[in-house]
Structure 1
């Protein structure tokens, strides 16, 4: 079988998107507003010291990750990953004590001429003794583009969990994995996939045209769809109920992969679980106020929590209504309408608790970087873009727009990378020596968003997939205090689905306490598991499981 790889490589016009702030050539946390926050996991990967070979003489002036990447590219064709290795484990007694198999391996994809193009690494889990015709299987993707699947793997879905991303967590936090009582494995087998350039996945040819083809919206979807098809075929799972789960840009991928599988590869998908996605980048482009409007309820949620209040969609109804009505109308009136500007400042201050003088400097529309500095400025702290309630020390408190490492994303890179490498070698017994790329900035920098003037979006694929398969069921989940991909943005996108596709039993939005990776909180992770179990039960016809737990 050959692998079809897309050829679109013309970059979309992102002139309306503020650039991310950088320090000494290294990408840092995302700044400049909602549009800039699109690629939520796109920082340059740094391999922790001791996890890679020392640099050859004469390369001391190069960055560690860059040296490793260049060295790996040079000899990649002769350095394949080891053959798949399967180990056997037991779930804790609290989860039933069932035995499960864990397989670390890779699938080599080829072009239409049969030449190898890329090697995609994966880790798969399956309960032993199950009927593959009825046992569900879920393929999981993280985002970026440029992020490995470690976030979902070790943060929420997998059988082992790493605590990260919460207040006070830092790079030196011990990378200790524990049993995950909220793993999805009791109700679905799992396959965690690292797209090309992330984790241990690599190109097999030093071919710039190939990179342009695969590192693109269309090429990425074709490659990942091909991987799913190959995995199902080679592992005897074509008859299994199939689901896709994705976070952030992975959530953008999921509807597109589902639609491609339906039409191009002859594979039906029963359920989609989409976590903290951007479903339509057009909502962030062209200088329109929808991006800042969508962020307002999330800021209001953070303010309510800081006051000790409980946050629900009902409690935020006033913020949501204002954001999508009077706020947009006043913003569109322009800065010369002083009465409109004053209304914005007054209402936003009331909803978010932000200082009126601060808001006045921005005409009531501050950028994301400035907000992160302002939220805890009096305490000398900066807030995370990924969770407004998680803060870190401001390295330059005198600079109200200074650069900083994000206290969620940057602080979690070292423990997650170390945990992933150690787990692969020690627990999965997979003898890989290739450097591990948790976050590969080269991927995001070179990503092609497609030809034409229209911004990338996944809603047309979601709409088409739902229309074609009346049994396809979708859950979109967000954290209340995520400033990178605020929940209201997905609500705006979903509101545009036709009434024939919006049965709440088929498509629903759920919002949980926390930020972009809300599952780092114990209660939200349990809520995520219960929600996913209901989805799996619905698509498999398991009425008993579908009724378990409260519906959000």
Structure 2
């Protein structure tokens, strides 16, 4: 299951080539739908109209009155097609193609669902922030119902599996509405978003296809609500950070962003702790995961003579990872046995795994192997996206974790919360199915990517050039990187490493700020961390909302 994950295994990266989703229909099909009748056809099937409701939320002692809009916007799968579609989802006069009679043969479109919150009586050109989760293939219900929407779900604070429904939903005193208007976007095929037409999955399920869809959606949203002159921010989590890097560069062709916020970042999939054994010779996945493994072992009391506090000791682990450990791995088979044994002993002291296990693994342990092995003697599997979580091992004899206890603990509460809230409060989707994700037997994400000015690399995704290009084209663009120490899906050290290796001049290094938390992937599941997350994000928006003024 890829829910909220950062990277596919490399063995899954080879995808079928993208087909032209908007190719002209054969002449025989065109004759079945005369042009004179084409104006009556929708770009995508019509669904229920937008719902507008009013609400209020108190943040930092200040009550904010807001208008909420739950609705959809239609985008095309190519720029040429997209410009012919109006805000109502119909083709504009004169832009109607000769549509085939069969809707499945028509050019691919996506009807993208969003929940937008606008503060009433707000100053002109108030900031607007676009928020989304990752997957790829995940809806935005986690950021919406867990972090920054006006209402949020309450979860146990001891990293335990919540009891079954009913779940408690409360006003969110940490909503980001105090700093910005908010737009939560469900990716095509997730939430209430739907894809239609010929080769629709290939047209929208891919690194570049997805980013283009979000680019078109955001520009349509700015048109619909006349927000072109508002300060604009992006907020992506997990694979949403991959999307944000590409999107920051795409949007740069239309306007300057004020800021991009990355939570639990992955820009270069070669830096992932997921399946690095499938990409031999690339050692970053092992090196950059070590600090998160150490933090996890410290949290679960698997470290002998453990320090009282995490952070000073974690700095020591980071230095070892980039120094002796990296050097040892880069030597490959030339590494002397005595040095190998010394490195294994040090790794054991940092991770709670035995030196013998590290030697057996040739000093290379993936995230899944670590999650299985750390508490294997107790038949317990350690979490992946938030390693504070744990659960019974499904197969104690397995070599790697068979599931993520964190994911198992959180999916049900969030799914229940977003379904109740959207229908009861936003008054939308009464007769529709909310899809937490797009996953299914036919879900196949095209990971190929063409970075700006370069040829694509089929083996792995690396969108660092996109973010670097956006920052160079807009030297005033500010970047905020945040994450959790207990995240083995998108490790904090890898994220920091990526931002410190962007191909940007030294003068732009100060445009990037960093903040990490003693939590996991979804920082906000811990209320004390959510409070900090809100403060850091709100301060970032306020500091950069005035642009060049």
TM-score interval for Structure 1 and Structure 2 normalised by the shorter chain: 0.7 to 0.9
CA distance in 2, matches of 1:84, 1:390: 39
Report the CA distance between 1:403 and its aligned residue.
Answer: 5.4
> Match for residue 302 of structure 1?
296
| Corresponding residue to 1:189 among 167, 177, 181 | 181
| Corresponding residue to 1:270 among 258, 270, 277 | 258
CA distance in 2, matches of 1:503, 1:536: 18
> Match for residue 285 of structure 2?
291
The correspondence of residues 141-160 of structure 1 with structure 2, limited to 5 A, is: 141-160=132-151
| Corresponding residue to 2:201 among 195, 211, 216 | 211
Report whether the alignment pairs 1:36 with 2:9.
Answer: yes
Between 1:171-180 and 1:473-482, the stretch displaced more is: 171-180
Report the CA distance between 1:117 and its aligned residue.
Answer: 0.9
Conserved? CA contact 1:244–1:272, under 8 Å: yes
| Corresponding residue to 1:177 among 169, 182, 200 | 169
Conserved? CA contact 2:3–2:136, under 8 Å: no
State the 4+ residue runs in structure 1 displaced beyond 6 angstroms.
Answer: 28-31
The alpha-carbon distance between structure 1 residues 163 and 374, as it changes in their structure 2 partners (threshold 3 A), is farther
> Match for residue 365 of structure 2?
366
Conserved? CA contact 2:265–2:495, under 8 Å: yes
CA distance in 2, matches of 1:460, 1:151: 28
> Match for residue 98 of structure 1?
64
CA distance in 2, matches of 1:196, 1:520: 25
> Match for residue 387 of structure 1?
386
Three-state SS of the structure 1 residue aligned to 2:494 is helix
List per-residue Cα deviations over 1:227-251 (Å, max 9, x = no partner).
0000011111111100000001101
CA distance in 2, matches of 1:137, 1:119: 21
Between 1:509-518 and 1:283-292, the stretch displaced more is: 283-292
Three-state SS of the structure 1 residue aligned to 2:115 is strand
The alpha-carbon distance between structure 1 residues 34 and 457, as it changes in their structure 2 partners (threshold 3 A), is closer
Report the CA distance between 1:401 and its aligned residue.
Answer: 2.7
Three-state SS of the structure 2 residue aligned to 1:175 is coil
Between 1:421-430 and 1:494-503, the stretch displaced more is: 494-503
Higher Cα radius of gyration: 2
Report the CA distance between 1:295 and its aligned residue.
Answer: 0.7
CA distance in 2, matches of 1:349, 1:485: 22
| Corresponding residue to 2:267 among 256, 274, 279 | 279
> Match for residue 435 of structure 1?
433
TM-score calculated relative to the size of structure 1 = 0.79
The alpha-carbon distance between structure 1 residues 401 and 273, as it changes in their structure 2 partners (threshold 3 A), is same
The alpha-carbon distance between structure 1 residues 30 and 404, as it changes in their structure 2 partners (threshold 3 A), is farther
> Match for residue 494 of structure 2?
489
Gaps of 5+ in 1: 1-26, 40-75, 543-552
TM-score calculated relative to the size of structure 2 = 0.80
Q: Which has the higher contact order (CA 8 A, sep 6+)?
A: 1
- The number of aligned residues is 473
Conserved? CA contact 2:4–2:136, under 8 Å: no
The alpha-carbon distance between structure 1 residues 447 and 78, as it changes in their structure 2 partners (threshold 3 A), is closer
The correspondence of residues 213-232 of structure 1 with structure 2, limited to 5 A, is: 213-232=203-222
Three-state SS of the structure 2 residue aligned to 1:101 is strand
Gaps of 5+ in 2: 13-41, 85-106, 449-455
| Corresponding residue to 1:508 among 508, 513, 517 | 513
CA distance in 2, matches of 1:530, 1:83: 35
> Match for residue 103 of structure 2?
none
Report the CA distance between 1:224 and its aligned residue.
Answer: 0.4
Report the CA distance between 1:170 and its aligned residue.
Answer: 3.9
> Match for residue 168 of structure 1?
160
Three-state SS of the structure 2 residue aligned to 1:365 is coil
The alpha-carbon distance between structure 1 residues 303 and 477, as it changes in their structure 2 partners (threshold 3 A), is same
The correspondence of residues 296-445 of structure 1 with structure 2, limited to 5 A, is: 296-305=290-299, 306=301, 307=306, 309-312=308-311, 314-334=312-332, 337-397=336-396, 399-401=397-399, 404-442=402-440, 445=443
Three-state SS of the structure 1 residue aligned to 2:71 is strand
Report whether the alignment pairs 1:234 with 2:224.
Answer: yes
CA distance in 2, matches of 1:432, 1:267: 37
The correspondence of residues 13-52 of structure 1 with structure 2, limited to 5 A, is: 27=1, 36=9
Report the CA distance between 1:327 and its aligned residue.
Answer: 0.8
CA distance in 2, matches of 1:233, 1:77: 18
The correspondence of residues 39-118 of structure 1 with structure 2, limited to 5 A, is: 80-92=46-58, 94-110=60-76, 112-113=80-81, 114=84, 117-118=109-110
CA distance in 2, matches of 1:196, 1:221: 11
Report the CA distance between 1:502 and its aligned residue.
Answer: 5.7
Report the CA distance between 1:491 and its aligned residue.
Answer: 1.9
Report the CA distance between 1:92 and its aligned residue.
Answer: 2.7
> Match for residue 251 of structure 1?
241
Report the CA distance between 1:540 and its aligned residue.
Answer: 1.8
Report the CA distance between 1:153 and its aligned residue.
Answer: 0.8
Conserved? CA contact 1:385–1:482, under 8 Å: yes
Three-state SS of the structure 1 residue aligned to 2:178 is coil
Between 1:520-529 and 1:226-235, the stretch displaced more is: 520-529
Three-state SS of the structure 2 residue aligned to 1:449 is coil
CA distance in 2, matches of 1:370, 1:93: 42
CA distance in 1, matches of 2:533, 2:372: 30
| Corresponding residue to 1:478 among 444, 459, 483 | 483
Report the CA distance between 1:365 and its aligned residue.
Answer: 1.9
CA distance in 1, matches of 2:3, 2:536: 30
> Match for residue 540 of structure 2?
535
CA distance in 2, matches of 1:365, 1:30: 25
Three-state SS of the structure 2 residue aligned to 1:315 is helix
